Amino acid sequence: MTTDIHRLLDRYFQGGTTTEEEKTLRRFFAQENLPEEWHETAAIFRFLEDESTALKVLKEIQREEALPVQRTFRLKTIVTVAAAACAFIALLLVLQPGKGSSSEAGSYVWVDGQRITDPAVVQRYAELSFDKVQTENNIITEQLQFMTE
């Protein structure tokens, strides 16, 4: 049994264990009355087990919390390539007074559980979301080019 643990441990420190195998290690080191040679290693595994358990619960709690927390919002500098997207979104929301409020009717953004309807803010968030999806697809075209070369 202990040779198995030694082998598992070796693989663990090589980074080659699966989640199941790591559970096995954690269970082993959770035991009481382990021989002295295991004490340091046991401390590490016990910490990881406890910390991951607690973190899971804390994440759950944060998700369930109704507390609206203002997330600091940082504007990304919009690159020229995304300018087209910005113009697109700006036109979508049509902020000219002549158009009337009905053009923005129904546009909103939920941030951390808070609803915002201010058109300028909604626009910024919409631009951000465009941005997030846009960059990746550049990689697709690059890879396409590579494959057809």
Residues 83-102 that bind other proteins (CB under 8 A): 84-85, 88, 91-94, 99, 102
Shortest Å, Cβ 4 to other proteins: 19
Backbone angles phi, psi at 140, to 5 degrees: -60, -45
CA distance 43 to 54: 16
Q: Does 47 bind other proteins (CB under 8 A)?
A: yes
Q: Does 143 bind other proteins (CB under 8 A)?
A: yes
Torsion of CA 44, 45, 48, 51, to 10 degrees: -90
Among 33, 37, 63, 74, binds other proteins (CB under 8 A): 63
Pick 4 or 69: Cβ nearer other proteins: 69
Residue 22 contacts residue 41 (beta carbons within 8 Å): no
Q: How many CA atoms lie within 13 A of 140 on its CB side?
A: 5
Q: Does 76 bind other proteins (CB under 8 A)?
A: no
Among 4, 113, 118, 120, binds other proteins (CB under 8 A): 113
